Structures are given as C-alpha cells and as structure tokens.
Amino acid sequence: MLAAGLQIDDIAWTMGRTQTIRFSSKYGNVMFQSSALSYSLEVNSSSGWETVLPDVTTGMIMFNMPISEYNLGNNYFDRIYPSLDGSFLQQGPSASVSHVFAVEKLPMPDGNFTRVAAVSSIRYSDSTIVGPQQSTSTVYYKFYLPALEQSSENPQRSQSITMTGSEITKVIRRDVNQVRITVAFPSGSSGFDSSFFRFDNVQETVALPAGAVVEFYIGKVIVSFGQV
C-alpha cells in the first residue's frame, strides 16, 4: 500500500501512464472502496466566496487482513505516510498526494479486518512570476488532487494493482485571497467516517497574498485489480 500511495503521484499527472504493483494474498486481499472521500474546494476574492469544485470524489485502495489472523486491537491506528502530519492538505513541491495508514475499527459492515489503506490527499505549492521589467510580480498557488476510480474491468489474471492516468482537469481563479477545502465522508454509514481516517481537521483554510492566482489540478486515476 505504501508503494501504491507513492505511485499515485507519478501516474495522476501523465495521461496514459500505467504502473502495476504486485501483492501476495497469503496475508489478505485487496479491495477498492468507492466514494471514500469527497473534497469541496472554495476560493474567496473581492466578490466573496465561490465554490469552484463542489464535490470531487475519490476512492480508496485497501489491503484487508482478517482479524482472526492479524488482530492489533480495536481502534488501532498507525499513520504510515506521511508519518508526522495528519492533515489532508500537504504543503510543498515534494509533499504527498496520498495518505497511507493502518487501522483496525470494529465492527464494520463489510467484514472485520486490519486494513492498510491508501487514499488521495491534496498537495499545494506556491511560486512567484516576476514581470519583464521586474516592477510587477504575480504569486501562483497550485493545488493537486488525484481522484481514484475503479475500472469496470477486473481481469484478475494475477495478484496485482494496476493504476492508469486517465485525464486531468484544470481550473483557474484570479485575484484570490483565501482557499478553503472541506473533506466529507460519503461512505460514513459503512464505517468509513472521520474516525476511520483521523485527519487533523475536516476543513483547512489557506490565506494567500492579495491578487494571487490559484490553479486546481484534478488527476483521474483508474484502478484495476489484475494485470491489464
């Protein structure tokens, strides 16, 4: 799952790029949870708040180990990557666009497992472009969010996870002074609620310099099980 989480960043921003990660079913099996998280992205300018992307949904890849074999204790939680930051919003050009964690939460409607999960998070970074006469400058903030979807075809010819970059959506807003991002849990009734992910907050606000340009990038990643 750590390998899967790290590979998401290589795949999401290149359409057609494919990576395959193999796993062994000796200890458990891989499952995909559709609609695990939903992100809402808003910007604030002189005109007030605007919802730019109201409902960006991403799935989650999980390696499920039955508690009859691997029981770490109910409510066990270990953040694997990034290990020291529980925010869904990570800052810096090399920051993570995924969270990988181990969790045991009982009971769950789909079965009782120790789960190692990889799910999308958001990275943002800033840069300044200076005008030709160096008298003006513009600050750009770029936000990156991979959106995982399960393929309708799962050939199951081998024990592997295949991820393919599908498409990239870009949205630009100018003269922005704040960005607000809220995460929701569409599958909360199935146990995948805020207590499962344990993010530091369900809403993050970033204050920007006056007149900043904001770019949002949504990279769709298609996930299938088995070599395709």
Residue-level pLDDT at 228: 45
Average pLDDT, stretch 174-194? 97
Q: How far, in Å, CA of 68 to CA of 146, rounded?
A: 34
Phi, psi (degrees; rounded to nearest 5) at 5: -60, -40
Q: Which residues pair with 212 in a beta bridge?
A: 176
Percentage of residues in the chain with pLDDT exceeding 70?
94
Percentage of residues in the chain with pLDDT exceeding 90?
80
- At residue 61, does pLDDT exceed 50? yes
Question: What is the torsion angle, in degrees rounded to the nearest 10, for the CA atoms of residue 190, residue 192, residue 98 and residue 203?
Answer: 130
Q: Where residue 157 falls among pLDDT bands split at 50, 70, 90?
A: low
Stretch among 33-37, 103-107, 155-159, 169-173 having the lowest mean pLDDT? 155-159
Q: Which domain holds residue 53?
A: 2-225
Average pLDDT, stretch 124-140? 79
Question: Over the chain, what is the mean pLDDT?
Answer: 92
Average pLDDT, stretch 145-174? 87
144 C-beta neighbours (distance < 10 Å), count: 23
The token pair at 139 is: 């600050």
Stretch among 17-31, 122-136, 204-218 having the lowest mean pLDDT? 122-136
Average pLDDT, stretch 42-53? 95
Average pLDDT, stretch 124-149? 86
Q: How far, in Å, CA of 195 to CA of 114, rounded?
A: 15
Residue-level pLDDT at 134: 62
Q: Is the pTM of this model over 0.85?
A: yes
pLDDT in tens, 1-34: 999 999 999 999 999 999 999 988 888 999 999 9
Q: How far, in Å, CA of 101 to CA of 118, rounded?
A: 7
Residue-level pLDDT at 227: 53
- At residue 152, does pLDDT exceed 80? no
Task: Indicate the number of domains in the chain.
Answer: 1
pLDDT in tens, 84-114: 899 999 999 999 999 999 999 999 999 999 9
Q: How far, in Å, CA of 115 to CA of 29, rounded?
A: 10
